[in-house]
Amino acid sequence: MKRVITLLTAFFVAAAVLTLAAFATAAFPAIAAGDDYILLGDMTPEKLVTLDDGLSINETGMDPGKGLKIGGTKYAKGISFHPFADRDSYIIYDIEGAGYKTFYAVVGKDESAGRVAGYNAIVGTAVNAKVYVDGQLAADSGKLPFPEVYEFKVNVEGAKKVKIVLGNGGDSYYCDTSSWANAMFSKQSPAEFTLPAEIAATVETPSPTPSPSPAPTNPPDIRERQKLYLSDMAWTAAENYPSANYGVPARDANFANELLFVGTSYFPKGVCMHGNEGKNAFIEVSLDGLDYLRFGALCGVAYSEAHSLAKGSVRFVFIADGREIHRTGLLKADGKTEKVFLDVTGVKTFRIEMEDGGDGVNGDWGVLGLAAFAKTEGEDPLFEVPEMQPTESPENAAVYAPHRLSAGIIVALILAVLAVVFSAVFVVAKVRKAKGKANAPAQEE
């Protein structure tokens, strides 16, 4: 019996050890640098002098967990830090005797720097990056405005110390978190250097930007349609913030090319307008000969996963043949919408303008949800939501899904727990048996 118990104990203990090893490997994979290169994120700096001593590995401290994004491209590997207001930040690495020949990195202000102010608020703000080799300036990005990037490929053969430096670009340190993407030391020379295949595979390059609105022509059956969405029409004129969707409002999406939301309300059809500095954003359409009677929309400020629009505040103004017929109240980024239902009988030119709310255009992504014209007088046809529901992107689902253990690991975990419980019971039984023998009265001879 003792032999059986011993064998069972050994089996469960072995299962527990294997389970822990498997779980550790699955949940915490080892990051092993190749023989030919080493990532800065896998090195311990000799000296670190950054704002708040902040050095983030493979993510930015401004937006943890979101990775690195510079120049519109996402990077899985790299480091990120912030300059001081009155002096440069820097990091020193000791590579003496390691045989490295090239320092490589793609550097730029990280998109996360605008997480509060908004993407457009940091366009043109700059940083400056430099690389020193054994105390001598080896490369300088010069003034590097957002969203531009600079590629370093510096000769470090025979070097002892390499110092990377980040300055504020001469325009204050406002939103200057910057990333050094794929930063590494390589044993290839600068002339022959190529990014390792396993690192290159982690780079997500942006898809080509589609051509902007407005569409050149109306739908061929426009005169027969009882209802026509504003986003499906040709616009005779349209304008908003110059760098947002080529300066024109976005159709059926926001300016981050995300689904169109106001708070938690999803609009499969609609228009998003960006506040314009110094003048109103606007859309103008011709209704001449189309016989539409009513216009309707649910107005608000967009919600975005990619950008903070908390400061957004807008007001829509509706103009029929040059005469203002309605204006909304002040709309803020609180998830609320205001319904607009207007009589457009006999109107030839219909114009929608968007004011910035009086506090600048930061976060001013105004939404005209379900915006449409109808040939009926009632509200219901206009505000009926088409049967189009948002679906989770498989790519996003993969990125943001919680860690899932395989069936094998789950079984192994159960065995490990049983092993621990069995071992504990066995030990307790042995201890009790030993105590019982010790306390038993001695037998008489």
For residue 94, what are the CA distances in angstroms to 44, 164, 193?
A: 9, 12, 21
Cβ neighbour number for residue 148 with a 10 Å cutoff = 15
Digit-coded pLDDT (tens) for 89-131: 999 999 999 999 999 999 999 988 877 666 666 877 889 999 9
Cβ neighbour number for residue 445 with a 10 Å cutoff = 3
Pick the CATH number of 37-200 from 3.90.850.10, 3.90.1170.50, 2.60.120.1060, 2.60.40.10: 2.60.120.1060
Rounded to whole angstroms, the Cα distance separating 54 from 397 reads 30
- Whether the CB-CB separation of 110 and 179 falls below 8 Å is answered with yes
For residue 415, give both structure tokens.
């065995």
Please tell me the predicted confidence (pLDDT) of residue 123. Answer: 77
Rounded to whole angstroms, the Cα distance separating 433 from 204 reads 64
Please tell me the predicted confidence (pLDDT) of residue 52. Answer: 81
Domains 37-200 and 227-391 share a fold: yes
Rounded to whole angstroms, the Cα distance separating 128 from 84 reads 12
Please state the domain extents for the chain. Answer: 37-200, 227-391, 410-440
> CATH assignment of 227-391?
2.60.120.1060
Please tell me the predicted confidence (pLDDT) of residue 433. Answer: 64
Q: Which residues of the chain have pLDDT under 70?
A: 1-34, 116-121, 207-216, 387-445
- Whether the CB-CB separation of 203 and 74 falls below 8 Å is answered with yes
Digit-coded pLDDT (tens) for 391-430: 433 333 222 223 333 344 455 566 666 666 666 666 656 6
The set of long-range contacts for 169-173, using a CB threshold of 8 Å and a minimum separation of 24, is: 169/125, 169/126, 169/127, 169/128, 169/143, 169/144, 169/145, 170/126, 170/128, 170/143, 171/125, 171/126, 172/85, 173/51, 173/82, 173/83, 173/84, 173/85
Please tell me the predicted confidence (pLDDT) of residue 390. Answer: 46
